[in-house]
Structure 1
Amino acid sequence: MKILLVGEYSRLHNSLQEGLRHLGHEVTLISTGDYFKDYPSDIKLIRHHESGVMKKVKIILYSIFKWDITSQNLKKQFFANAEMLKGFDIVQLINESPFSASPKDEMTMISFLKKYNKKLVLLSCGTDYTSVSHALSDDNPYSILSFYKDKSVEADTFKYILKYVSPPFKKLHEHVFKLIDGVIASDIDYHIPLKNHPKYLGLIPNPINIENLEFVSLTQQAPIVIFMGINRSTYHTKGIIYFEKAIEKIQKKHGKKVKIEIAENLPYNEYIEKYNTAHIVLDQVLAYDQGYNALEAMAKGKVVFTGAEKAFEEQYHLKQPVAINALPNVDYLVTELNKLIEIPAQLVQIGSAARAFVETHHEYRTVAKKYLEIWGK
C-alpha cells in the first residue's frame, strides 16, 4: 500500500511510518517538523518569517492586509512538491490544520490531497474544533481550558487553542469533515468528544517504537530524581502550575532525598535524553489519558504522572497502575509523590508495569496493523 502521512505532533507519524515500513508498505511523511521539536520528514516544509525583523514585518502585513506570509510560503512549498503528493492509497492528516497554516490555505492544500489520492483520513490527537468545543463544555470536571473557564488566567493566553472554534477554523473543520472518509482518535481525550460522530472509526493507541527506548529498571537508591519538561505554549493547558507547587513542597520536606530537574522548550532528541536518569516524570495534569511524551517515558520504565482516569483503565482493562493519575489538586499530588519517595519499591513495580503496558498496547508494528485494518474497511 502507498501511504502519505501529513503533519507531525510528538513523533506519532514518525513511529507509525516506521511500523508501516516494517510491514512492507511505501510511506511518505510531509510536515513542518512541529516548530522547535524539529521532527524528521521526507518532505520538510520550512516555516519562514518566525523571528527577528521578518516576524515584525509579518505581523504588520497581517494586521493591515490579513495576509499571512508564513502560511503563503508553506502553501508555495507544498505545491512545489505537488507531483510527489499524488497517487496514494491512503492520506492521513495529523490534524484538521496539519501545517499550522491559515484556514484558507489549509483548505486549499487538503482539497488537493483529496482530489489526487484515493482515501483521506483524519486523526484527532491534538486541539481541533471538536476537542476544543468539548473542553469548553461542562461534560468533564476539568479540561485543558479549566484556567480559561474559571478566569484565573488571562483569556488571551488561550488564543492559540480558542482559534479552533473561531469562524474561520469552524469553516475549515466543516470543509475537512466533508472530504474525509473517517476520523480516528489517538487516546481517550479525543475519543470522548467523537464517540457519537457518524464518521468516527474508533480509537487506535499511539504507536511507540520501543526499540528506540531502552528500558532500565529503576533503582531504590536516593536521591529520587523527579523530572519535569515544560513547553511554555502548553503550560496552562497541561496544568504545570500544580506540579510546580507540589515539587516545591516535596523539596522542602525531603531535601537531599530528592533531586528536581526541569527542562524547557527542548528539541525532541534533547528532551528524550534529558530524563534518562529520572525515576519520576511529571507530564501533565489536565488530561484523561497519556499523550506521546508520557508513553515514551513509560516505555523507558519511568513512573509518570499524567492522565490515567477511570475511562483509561476501563479501556485497557487494567488491574494495576501503569502510571499515576495526575489530578488538579496540589495536596493529592504531594501525597502521591510522598508514597513513591517513602516506599521506593513502588517505583520499580510501577515502572516495570508501565513498560509492559506500552509493549502490549502501543508497540509500533502492532499499532500499524490496526491502522491498516481500519483503513482497509
Structure 2
Amino acid sequence: MKILLIGEFSRLHNSLKEGLLALGHEVVLVNNGDGFKNFPADISIRANFFKSKLGNIPRQIWFKIFKYDLGLLEHGIRFWMISKKLQHYDVVQFINESPIQTISKLELFLIKRIFKQNQKVFLLCCGIDYVTVNHMLQKKDRYSVMNAYFDDIPEAKKQYDYFFDFVDKPHQKIHKFLYKNIRGVIASDLDYVQPLLGNKKYLGIIANPINTDKITVIENKISDKINIFLGINTGNSFKKGVPFFECAIAIIQEKYPNRIEITITKDIPYTEYQKHFEKAHILLDQVYGFDQGFNALEAMAKGKVVFTGAETEFTNQYGLQEDEVAINALADVDYLVEKLSFLIENPSEIERIGKNAIQFIQKEHHYITQAEKYLEVWKTN
C-alpha cells in the first residue's frame, strides 16, 4: 500500500511509519516537527523563515497587533506548495483535526484538497480536538487535563487558550467537514475513547506503536543514588500536572538528600530529552491521564518506572491487576511523596516494575503488531 501520514505531535506517526515500512509498505510522513521537539519528517513544512532571527521580528510585531502567529501561516504556505504531490495514496491519515497547524481557513482549504486528491482518509484522536475539548468542558470524567483551568489557577489560564480554538466556529467547520468525509476515527489510548463513544465514525482503539527495536533496554539496577527525572514542557505544564510533581520532588529532596539525584529539564529537543531519561530510574510524566502517552511508553520500553496514567480502566483493559507496569500518578502531593518514598526505600521494586513495563510494551505496543492493526482497519473501512 501507498500511505500518507500527515502531522506529528508525539512520534506516533514516526513509529507507525517504521512498522508499516517493516511490513513492506510505501510511506510518506509530512509534518512541521512540532516546535522544539523537532520530530523527523519525509517532507517538512516547518516554519523556517518566521522562526529565524530575521523573520522572528515581524512575527512578534504581527502577533502583538493581530493575535495570530505568522509561523502557523508559514506551515500552511509550505504545505500548499507541496500539496499537489500528495495524491493517489491508498490511505491518508491525519494526526488530529488540525494536522497542518495553520490558520483555520487555510487548514480547511488544504484538508479539502487532500480529500479531493485521495480516496481513503482516516483521522486519529490522540490529543486536543473538538471532540475531546467538548467532552472535557462537560466534566464527564473524574478528572481531565483541564483540571487546572477549572480550578481557576490564574497562571494556568494562558496554557488553555488554544483548547478553545478547537471549539470556536472556524474550527467547528473543519471538525464537521472531517467527520462528514473521513472513513473513520481511531483512538490512540483510553483517554480518547470516552469522548468518541456513540460516534458513528469511531472505529475503536489502537494503542500507540512503540519501536522497541530502536529502544535499548537499560537494566534499572540501583548501585548508588536513585535518579528521578522530570522533563517539563512549559507550554503544557499545568495540563500535565507538573506543579504536583515539583512539590513532591522538593519534599523528597529534603527527605532523602543522600539517596537520590534529581534531574529537571525545560523545553529541550526530543533527542536530548531521550538522553536524560536513559539515565533515570524513575520518570515523572503526568497526573491527568487514565492511560499512558508516548513519552511514558517509550520510557517504560526502556525499563523505567513511570509516574503516569495507569487507572483502573487501564489495568482492566489489559488485565494487569497483579502486574504493576507503571505508577498511577494522581494530583495529590502526599500520595506522590508516599509512592516515591516507597520506591526509594525498596529499590528492588524499581527493578520489578521496570521489568514488567518492558514485557507490557513488547506485548501490547510493538510497532509492527500495531501497524498490522492499522492496516486491518484501513482495509475494512
Secondary structure of the corresponding residue to residue 109 of structure 2: helix
Instruction: Give the 5 Å matches for 1:213-252.
Output: 213-252=215-254
Q: Which residue of 2 aligns with 1:9?
A: 9
Q: Which runs of 5+ in 1 are unaligned?
A: none
Q: Which residue of 1 aligns with 2:367?
A: 364
Answer whether contact 1:120 1:181 (CA < 8 A) is retained: yes
Instruction: Give the 5 Å matches for 1:201-220.
Output: 201-220=203-222
Q: How far apart in 1 are the matches of 2:117 and 2:180? A: 16
Q: Which residue of 2 aligns with 1:147?
A: 148
Q: How far apart in 2 are the matches of 1:99 and 1:336? A: 40
Question: How far has the Cα of 1:217 moved from its partner?
Answer: 1.9
Q: How far apart in 2 are the matches of 1:63 and 1:168? A: 21
Q: Which residue of 2 aligns with 1:180?
A: 182
User: Which amino acid is the alignment partner of residue 329 of structure 1?
Assistant: D
Answer whether contact 1:279 1:303 (CA < 8 A) is retained: yes
Q: How far apart in 1 are the matches of 2:340 and 2:76? A: 47
Q: How far apart in 2 are the matches of 1:262 and 1:195? A: 38
Question: How far has the Cα of 1:60 moved from its partner?
Answer: 4.6
Q: CA RMSD in A?
A: 1.6
Secondary structure of the corresponding residue to residue 128 of structure 2: coil
Q: How far apart in 2 are the matches of 1:373 and 1:103? A: 32
Q: How far apart in 2 are the matches of 1:15 and 1:376? A: 20
Q: Which residue of 2 aligns with 1:376?
A: 379
Q: How far apart in 2 are the matches of 1:193 and 1:293? A: 22
Secondary structure of the corresponding residue to residue 59 of structure 2: helix
Answer whether contact 1:185 1:204 (CA < 8 A) is retained: yes
Q: How far apart in 2 are the matches of 1:258 and 1:22? A: 41
Q: Which residue of 1 aligns with 2:339?
A: 336
Secondary structure of the corresponding residue to residue 228 of structure 1: strand
Change (3 A) 1:230 1:62: closer
Answer whether contact 2:75 2:101 (CA < 8 A) is retained: no
State TM-score, norm by structure 1.
Answer: 0.96
Is 1:291 matched up with 2:293?
Answer: yes
Secondary structure of the corresponding residue to residue 81 of structure 1: helix
Q: Which residue of 2 aligns with 1:98?
A: 99
- Calculate percent identity across the aligned residue pairs: 46
Q: Which residue of 2 aligns with 1:191?
A: 193
Q: Which residue of 2 aligns with 1:281?
A: 283
Residue correspondences, number: 377
Q: Which residue of 1 aligns with 2:314?
A: 312
Q: Per-residue CA shift, 1:37-85, capped at 9, x if unaligned?
A: 1111111012142465644533554666687643443233223223320
State TM-score, norm by structure 2.
Answer: 0.95
Is 1:39 matched up with 2:39?
Answer: yes
Q: How far apart in 2 are the matches of 1:304 and 1:108? A: 41
Change (3 A) 1:68 1:262: closer
Answer whether contact 1:208 1:296 (CA < 8 A) is retained: yes
Question: How far has the Cα of 1:168 moved from its partner?
Answer: 1.6
User: Which amino acid is the alignment partner of residue 121 of structure 2?
Assistant: L
Q: How far apart in 1 are the matches of 2:68 and 2:150? A: 31
Answer whether contact 2:159 2:236 (CA < 8 A) is retained: no
Answer whether contact 2:286 2:307 (CA < 8 A) is retained: yes
Q: How far apart in 1 are the matches of 2:372 and 2:214? A: 19
Question: How far has the Cα of 1:291 moved from its partner?
Answer: 0.3
Q: Which residue of 1 aligns with 2:117?
A: 116
Q: How far apart in 2 are the matches of 1:219 and 1:165? A: 47
Q: Which residue of 1 aligns with 2:139?
A: 138
Change (3 A) 1:66 1:268: closer
Answer whether contact 2:229 2:284 (CA < 8 A) is retained: yes
Change (3 A) 1:285 1:370: same
Secondary structure of the corresponding residue to residue 9 of structure 2: coil
Answer whether contact 1:8 1:94 (CA < 8 A) is retained: yes
Q: How far apart in 1 are the matches of 2:51 and 2:169? A: 25
Answer whether contact 2:87 2:118 (CA < 8 A) is retained: yes
Secondary structure of the corresponding residue to residue 27 of structure 1: strand
Is 1:157 matched up with 2:159?
Answer: yes
Question: How far has the Cα of 1:331 moved from its partner?
Answer: 0.3
Answer whether contact 2:76 2:100 (CA < 8 A) is retained: no
Q: Which residue of 2 aligns with 1:347?
A: 350
Give the one of 260, 263, 267 matched to 2:262: 260
Secondary structure of the corresponding residue to residue 265 of structure 2: strand
Q: Which runs of 5+ in 2 are unaligned?
A: none
Q: Name whichever of 57-66 and 217-226 sits farther off.
A: 57-66
Instruction: Give the 5 Å matches for 1:47-86.
Output: 47=47, 48-50=49-51, 54-58=55-59, 60-61=61-62, 69-86=70-87
Q: Per-residue CA shift, 1:239-292, capped at 9, x if unaligned?
A: 000000001111111111011011111111111111111110000111111000
Q: How far apart in 2 are the matches of 1:215 and 1:19? A: 19
Q: Name whichever of 22-31 and 65-74 sits farther off.
A: 65-74
Answer whether contact 1:8 1:39 (CA < 8 A) is retained: yes
